[in-house]
Structure 1
Amino acid sequence: MDLAIGASGLDQRNRAGSAPVGLTVVPSTRVSSAAGTVDRLEWSADDGRTWTELPLTGSGAAAAASLTVPATAAYVSLRISARNDEGGALRRTVLRAIAGPAVPGDESAGGTTISNVKVNGGKGLSIGTSGEVQITATFTAGDPSGIARAGLYLWHGNFNAPDGIEFAATECVPVNPTTSTCTATVYLWDVRFSLASNALAGSWRAAAWATAKDGIGFTDRHGAGSVALKRATRLTANATPEPVKKGKTVTVTGAFTRADWSAGSFKPYASQPVTLAWSKINTSAWGTVKGFKSDSAGNLKTTATAGSDGSYRFSFASDSVSAVSNSPADYVDVQ
């Protein structure tokens, strides 16, 4: 005997929502015209540890049932019992036949572990509007029997329905019989396509997995690490007059722009906090003069009192989706 199982009411990822899922079961007998009957259709939200029977309507080619998947279920398994009029019988179990509304948690079996996950050395990335970006992640995978395979990918948004996924090429090198160090590289060949929406700026999570050589152990960590992919910012600064007399006013103007990934160009970053900083000649230290905000067109303008020879620059400290930046320094001779 065999069974054909159908499901309706799922999204493109075979995930159930709040609406009932329609299930259909069609039994058949190979090389025979025997009539089949579906006796039971059961479902489980705990990978088959417990089962609940669903009421069936019809039989044979018309066996159907409706299931409202609990909001707490990450997966639903199905178990079907059927028979035919020639004495044949079949019970089939399909583990994780469909996905549920809940976000699945991390999973593991045996002694497989993943640790020390670090993406881009623990630093965020400032990304402009074109070109290639390479992101390297490292992690340690271990199991008493050794590591057979491992991998990593970056995702953004909701794990159940991410709006961005970037897979990595991963290579693991054993350092001893039980432990491997792994290097995963994500290639964004052109950010105009990989990051074509401003909504993709911010924190991306790293999911990492590994399987053991014994064929039993595995681990799958959905949030093993993270990295911030931020929209690049640019600042300009022009201090006048040059030279200036001591005690007189120095006016510093400039512009503040930010990468617009959706448009593929830099656009004014309006009403954002910016710092005017000053560095004395022949020193590398910068001190804050004052803070202010860019205007509605991203323009910058503020003043300072000339004290001694030195350089002025504008600085932006970053936010959750925009990268830190400093303008080129502009030197002013004070007389």
Structure 2
Amino acid sequence: MSRTMWNAAVATGAAAVFAGVATVPAGAAEGGVSFSRVSFNKGKPIVVGVQEEVEVHATFRMTTTRKYKYGPTVVPYRGKLSSTDTLHSAVITSDCHVVNKAKGICDFEEWVYIDPRNLDFGNEDAGTWRTAAELAIVVGGGDIDDMNIPLQVQRATRVTVNAAPEPVVKGRTITVTGKVTRANWDTHTYQGYAGRTVSLQFKADGASSYTTVKKVTSGSTGSLRTTVKAAKSGTWRWNYYGNPTAGAKASTGDHVVVRPASS
């Protein structure tokens, strides 16, 4: 989304300048620059809420013997490389960590910031993006390459839980309620997420992990409700596994003590 404001990348790392004594390495892009070893958010989806700026970490390698102005940067993009929308409010690139000075090989770290409060950011920005690597060259313009790495940008979800009564007699009914909501980037609020399949999970006292007991579909306001028989003490939670445009999220746990039935 380079809708002007999003193009304001801040590359603060000092640009490394290599003497042009080596030939352009094999596989270099048309601008005499090649990028490799790109890792963006460790391949995980980028989940964005409604208020908090998100910091995304990236690493990459660049090979060039050309003198450049600043950067380089690796960012999410959509559209064509020649006329692209990029997704960031700011980018900070580290100094060059020299791998091979003669060949102009550098490793970089990068921090990309995405602020959902930006006026150009909206619900339409959820979904699949691609990764572009770019460098501004002192003479001859610049170089921008599609790294062929897809990125999922997702709206954050929230999930709540309440299990009652607490405590409960063994064999009686426990009612588990909750709600799943999703970030609305247009209104900067969380709204009920209807029609979602959410797993009710239980972890018995002394157990190390949760087990899915049943699955429930959220109502028109995102509400969740079901009943189970009380068998043993433990913790109940709801777990939503997400989708391409909405992040995965589990609720906190609600512990219920199950007491023996009176003889």
Trace 1:321-332 onto structure 2 (pairs within 5 A): 321-332=245-256
Asked whether 1:127 is paired with 2:52, we answer no
Corresponding residue of 1:62:
none
Q: Which whole-Å CA distance do the structure 1 matches of 2:148 and 2:58 have between them?
A: 11
Q: Secondary structure at the match of 1:276?
A: strand
Are the aligned partners of 1:127 and 1:232 in contact in 2 as well (CA < 8 Å)? yes
Corresponding residue of 2:23:
none
Are the aligned partners of 2:198 and 2:216 in contact in 1 as well (CA < 8 Å)? yes
Asked whether 1:225 is paired with 2:149, we answer yes
Are the aligned partners of 2:28 and 2:63 in contact in 1 as well (CA < 8 Å)? no
Q: Which whole-Å CA distance do the structure 2 matches of 1:121 and 1:234 have between them?
A: 23
Q: Which whole-Å CA distance do the structure 2 matches of 1:322 and 1:279 have between them?
A: 25
State the AA in 1 paired with 2:111: T
State the AA in 1 paired with 2:228: A
Q: Secondary structure at the match of 2:29?
A: strand
State the AA in 1 paired with 2:108: C
Are the aligned partners of 1:232 and 1:259 in contact in 2 as well (CA < 8 Å)? yes
State the AA in 2 paired with 1:290: K
Corresponding residue of 1:206:
131
Query: Any idea what the Cα deviations from partners look like across 1:111-142, whole Å, max 9, x if unmatched?
Result: 74311111122222321111322222110112
Change (3 A) 1:154 1:109: closer
Are the aligned partners of 2:195 and 2:218 in contact in 1 as well (CA < 8 Å)? yes
Q: Which runs of 5+ in 1 are unaligned?
A: 1-105
Query: Any idea what the Cα deviations from partners look like across 1:147-180, whole Å, max 9, x if unmatched?
Result: 8565224344323654554363323321222321
Trace 1:231-250 onto structure 2 (pairs within 5 A): 231-250=155-174
Give the structure with higher Rg (CA).
Answer: 1
Trace 1:159-238 onto structure 2 (pairs within 5 A): 159=80, 162-166=84-88, 168-171=91-94, 172-177=96-101, 178=103, 179-188=105-114, 190-193=115-118, 196-210=121-135, 220-238=144-162
Deviation at 1:146, TM superposition (A): 7.5
Corresponding residue of 1:138:
59
Quote the RMSD (CA, aligned, Å): 2.8
Percent identity (aligned)? 32
Change (3 A) 1:205 1:238: same
Change (3 A) 1:163 1:293: farther
Give the alignment's TM-score, normalised by structure 2. Answer: 0.75
Give the alignment's TM-score, normalised by structure 1. Answer: 0.60
Name which of structure 1's ranges 271-280 and 191-200 shifts more when overlaid on structure 2: 191-200
Change (3 A) 1:195 1:257: farther
Change (3 A) 1:110 1:321: closer
Asked whether 1:312 is paired with 2:236, we answer yes
Change (3 A) 1:126 1:110: closer
Change (3 A) 1:164 1:137: same
Change (3 A) 1:154 1:112: closer
Name which of structure 1's ranges 317-326 and 170-179 shifts more when overlaid on structure 2: 170-179
Deviation at 1:246, TM superposition (A): 1.8
Are the aligned partners of 1:254 and 1:301 in contact in 2 as well (CA < 8 Å)? yes
Are the aligned partners of 2:28 and 2:34 in contact in 1 as well (CA < 8 Å)? no
Trace 1:1-335 onto structure 2 (pairs within 5 A): 108-109=29-30, 112-143=33-64, 145=65, 148=68, 150-159=71-80, 162-166=84-88, 168-171=91-94, 172-177=96-101, 178=103, 179-188=105-114, 190-193=115-118, 196-210=121-135, 220-335=144-259
Deviation at 1:292, TM superposition (A): 1.6
Q: Which whole-Å CA distance do the structure 2 matches of 1:123 and 1:194 have between them?
A: 25
Change (3 A) 1:319 1:126: same
Query: Any idea what the Cα deviations from partners look like across 1:245-290, whole Å, max 9, x if unmatched?
Result: 2222211001111110001100000111100000011222100000
Q: Secondary structure at the match of 2:258?
A: coil
Query: Any idea what the Cα deviations from partners look like across 1:79-120, whole Å, max 9, x if unmatched?
Result: xxxxxxxxxxxxxxxxxxxxxxxxxxx982387431111112
Higher relative contact order (CA 8 A, sep 6+): 2
Change (3 A) 1:223 1:295: same
Are the aligned partners of 2:51 and 2:116 in contact in 1 as well (CA < 8 Å)? yes
Q: Which runs of 5+ in 2 are unaligned?
A: 1-26
Change (3 A) 1:323 1:119: same
